[in-house]
């Protein structure tokens, strides 16, 4: 509790001058154009990362569950998907930074081998490609988490229900929509809660890859807070922003937990 109350105390003081500032730091957030840009970039990142991870993880879970039947094959699949999850985010950022180097990065080398002879793609130097690059690292590292959770959910679907559906003539899509998806809904909501938490506080690999650039195209909320607090030493304003995040996330988690409880019941 001490860091929380300490942050509250800092948020109620003036920057450098000290003294009681009331809600000055909180009110300034509504006039901060850089904060608006950071929130916009964070929203784009969260939507892209969560959408791709959930969709891809769901598709792969269904595909593996229906095609890989041997215990050895499934064990090897588990191990393959666990490797990205246990990779430190900083190490993942360094690996992908080397892959995205314009001159000799493996991505551009492969593009040239496939017949692309245009200018080298500047993966980390243009706003659109930089966003794609940081999202790709998150997808590579955390899509396996979605896959493993949903694959476990598919394995828990009673076999007699699947057999009854097949006897009634349910095809692959009908089997998924009417038999398997109801069992996956609580897990999907749980995955969304976990992934929202992680994407909101993303920092490590983005700092390594782009440092928030080019410009402020990948300066997400966590990086903006870091810059305000430790580069500009404005801990007062940073504390106010952090408290805003605590309040907003607490409200969202309360709503999500209610829906999750209803789904589990």
Comparison of pLDDT for 78 and 163, the residue scoring more: 78
> Does residue 264 or residue 75 have the better pLDDT?
75
Share of the chain above pLDDT 70, in %: 98
Which tokens sit at 125? Answer: 């130097």
- Does residue 174 carry a pLDDT above 70? yes
Higher per-residue pLDDT: 69 or 60 = 60
Evaluate whether residue 203 is within a structural domain.
yes
User: Is the confidence at residue 242, as pLDDT, over 70?
Assistant: yes
Q: What is the pLDDT of residue 263?
A: 60
In contact, 137 and 218? CB cutoff 8 Å: no
Q: Are 202 and 220 in contact, with CB atoms under 8 Å apart?
A: yes
pLDDT at 261: 67
Taking phi first (over 0 means left), then psi (-120 to 50 degrees means alpha), and beta for anything else, what does residue 211 get? left
Asked whether residue 183 is domain-assigned, the answer is yes
Is there a domain that residue 132 lies in?
A: yes
Structural contact between residues 189 and 263, judged by C-beta atoms closer than 8 angstroms: yes
Q: What is the pLDDT of residue 259?
A: 75
Average pLDDT over residues 146-167: 86
Measured N-to-C along each axis, helices 235-264 and 181-200 cross at an angle, to the nearest 10 degrees, of 170
pLDDT at 265 over 60: no
| Residue 184 covered by a domain | yes
Query: Does residue 86 belong to any structural domain of this protein?
Result: yes
pLDDT tier for residue 150 given thresholds of 50, 70 and 90: very high
Residue 234: pLDDT band (50, 70, 90) is very high
**13-66 pLDDT per residue, tens:** 998 877 888 899 999 999 999 999 999 999 999 999 999 999 999 999 999 988
Cβ neighbours for 121, distance < 8 A, ≥ 6 positions apart: 102, 107, 108, 111, 129
Average pLDDT over residues 209-217: 90
Q: How far apart are CA 36 and CA 33, in angstroms?
A: 5
Please state, rounded to an integer, the average pLDDT across all residues of the chain: 89
Let me know if residue 239 belongs to a domain: no
Three-state SS at 13: strand
- By C-alpha distance, which of 17, 16, 14 is closest to 27? 14
Q: What is the mean pLDDT of residues 90-117?
A: 90
What is residue 194's predicted lDDT score, i.e. its pLDDT?
87
Q: What is the number of structural domains in the chain?
A: 1
> Taking residues 178-183, what's their average pLDDT?
85
- State the CATH number of the domain containing residue 184: 1.10.3720.10
Q: Which of 108, 105, 144, 124 is nearest to 207 (CA)?
A: 124
Q: Is the pLDDT of residue 8 over 60?
A: yes
Mean pLDDT of 181-188: 86
Could you list the residue range(s) of the whole structural domain that residue 56 is in? 32-233
Q: Is residue 22 part of a domain?
A: no
**Does residue 13 fall inside a structural domain?**
no
For residue 114, what pLDDT band results from cuts at 50, 70 and 90?
A: confident
Q: Where are the alpha helices (DSSP H) in the chain?
A: 2-11, 24-28, 33-67, 71-85, 89-99, 106-113, 127-155, 159-167, 172-174, 181-200, 204-209, 221-226, 235-264
User: What band does 168 get if pLDDT is binned at 50, 70 and 90?
Assistant: confident
């Amino acid at each position: 509790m001490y860091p929380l109350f300490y942050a509250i105390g800092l948020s109620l003081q003036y920057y450098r001058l000290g003294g009681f500032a009331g809600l000055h730091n909180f009110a300034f957030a509504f006039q901060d154009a850089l904060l608006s840009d950071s929130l916009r970039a964070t929203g784009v990142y969260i939507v892209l990362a969560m959408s791709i991870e959930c969709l891809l993880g769901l598709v792969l879970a269904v595909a593996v569950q229906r095609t890989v039947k041997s215990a050895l094959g499934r064990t090897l699949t588990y191990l393959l998907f666990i490797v990205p999850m246990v990779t430190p985010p900083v190490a993942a950022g360094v690996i992908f930074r080397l892959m995205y180097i314009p001159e000799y990065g493996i991505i551009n080398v492969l593009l040239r081998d496939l017949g692309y002879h245009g200018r080298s793609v500047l993966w980390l130097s243009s706003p659109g490609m930089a966003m794609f690059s940081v999202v790709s690292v998150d997808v590579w590292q955390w899509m396996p988490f979605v896959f493993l959770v949903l694959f476990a959910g598919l394995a828990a679907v009673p076999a007699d229900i699947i057999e009854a559906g097949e006897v009634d003539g349910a095809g692959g899509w009908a089997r998924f929509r009417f038999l398997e998806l109801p069992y996956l809904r609580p897990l999907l909501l749980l995955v969304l809660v976990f992934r929202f938490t992680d994407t909101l506080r993303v920092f490590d690999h983005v700092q390594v890859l782009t440092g928030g650039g080019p410009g402020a195209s990948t300066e997400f909320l966590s990086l903006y807070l870091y810059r305000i607090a430790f580069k500009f030493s404005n801990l007062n304003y940073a504390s106010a922003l952090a408290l805003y995040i605590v309040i907003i996330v607490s409200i969202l988690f309360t709503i999500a937990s209610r829906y999750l409880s209803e789904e589990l019941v």
